[in-house]
A = this chain, B = another copy of it.
């Protein structure tokens, strides 16, 4: 079945002899490629991956102080990661008195929602 794999390769190599270095049409408009990369960039850190999984598992907003108690990182760093997730469109924050709670955005961008589904 997989023996068909090698054929187009050699085929292509032969074709190259007179058709090399041909520019390829961009599959995505530049802004779209950048936006897609930005979503992935927000997930390119293990701490943020864990945070999103926690929010998904909990189903309820989570207090920043709980995150601070969970990870072995400083409070500013925790705030930094949460801000990244918020800027990327994954979460929103609401303040209740002294505390700030973060939760998954129910109106999350579609790209974020799909990426979320394959965390882990």
Given contacts A45-B37, A111-B118, are A21 and B103 in contact (CB under 8 A)?
A: no
Number of A residues whose C-beta is below 8 Å from B? 62
* Secondary structure of the A contact surface, majority rule: helix
- Chain A positions 81 through 113: 1 when the CB is less than 8 Å from some CB of chain B, otherwise 0: 000000000000010110101010010000100
Could you pull out 22 A-B pairs where Cβ atoms are within 8 angstroms?
A8-B60, A9-B61, A9-B96, A10-B96, A13-B101, A16-B96, A20-B66, A21-B66, A22-B66, A22-B69, A23-B69, A24-B54, A24-B69, A27-B50, A33-B47, A33-B120, A36-B119, A36-B120, A40-B44, A40-B115, A111-B118, A115-B115
